[in-house]
Amino acid sequence: MSTSESSQNVWFITGTSSGFGRRLVPIILSRGDLVIATARTVTKIQEPGFFNIPSESSERLRLLQLDIDSGVDAIKQVVKEAVGFWGRIDVLVNNAAWAQQGLLEEAGSDLVRKIYQSNVFSMLDVTTSVLPYMREKRKGTIVVIGSRTSWMPENPSGGIYASSKSAVRTIGETLSVELVSFNIRVLIVEPGAFRTEGIFATPFFLENQIPDYDELRTSAQAFYNSINGTQKGDPVKGMEAVVDVVRGEGRASGKAWPLYLPLGVAAETTIRDKCQRMMGVLGEWQDVIRDVNFDQ
């Protein structure tokens, strides 16, 4: 390993064939760091010009096939191969995830399990596969791509994906305290409405239709179908902000490390609204909330 490589961050990113992952790769390379990009279908990211990077940057890019749902043993083998490139992983970006909208009673627990498998359990498998290498170095950064939907699960049909991202946030919060003694940081990124292709790739769940829900399902599906292409968030700008924070430069220069990074006005508004609602409940119901202890 050259002296320059030892001073560069080595990034390991899941789900780089679309969405935020695809945007991250060229941004990181433009900052001079090293990237290990993974995808379920590696031939897609191997296509010439896929990441639209200068030819000289390709020397700092490695591509690996990784199906995050393949099980922890298979993931460990891929991570071991990744570490072999430059001897370490400095930054893990848990980006790979998927979503399907559907009403909870119609979708049932089967769909919940499928989404949780990828978004929660497999994310944790990747993280625990990388952590031994970070602990050995006593240094590292784990980036978890969450979602502002975890703060607004009240939307009909959005509860399955939103709840998976709520779990992701909670896991990230716990990891942040469990890993602090190893000098491993956690960043929970919670994007709002961004114009990416991946999130709308799966059609609305329409199996097991229950007539009582016909009106609600129709309106929820229409709302879901109307969103794509209208989002105001620029995914490139969003991922530029993430790289700024991890590297402590640009817009993050001089700022303390944030455990949370909401991205976009939609995310900010949603989180503020939820916090205000909770503060309202705590105020209005304070007498009930506090009057549950044993009598002295």
Write down the pLDDT at residue 201.
67
Query: Distances in Å between the alpha carbon of 196 and those of 19, 24, 30, 114, 134?
Result: 5, 12, 21, 22, 31
* Domain 3-290, CATH among 3.90.550.10, 2.160.20.10, 3.40.50.620, 3.40.50.720: 3.40.50.720
Q: How far apart are CA 290 and CA 91, in angstroms?
A: 43
| pTM as predicted | 0.94
Distance linking the first and last C-alpha atoms of the chain: 67
Orientation of helix 19-30 relative to helix 235-247, angle to 10°:
50
CB contact at 8 A, 157 and 102: yes
Q: Which residues are catalytic?
A: 161
Digit-by-digit pLDDT tens for the chain (296 residues) are 554 566 799 999 999 999 999 999 999 999 999 999 999 999 999 999 999 999 999 999 999 999 999 999 999 999 999 999 999 999 999 999 988 899 999 999 999 999 999 999 999 999 999 999 999 999 999 999 999 989 988 888 889 999 999 999 999 999 999 999 999 999 999 998 777 776 666 888 999 999 999 999 999 988 887 777 667 778 999 999 999 999 999 999 999 999 999 999 999 999 999 999 999 999 999 999 999 999 98
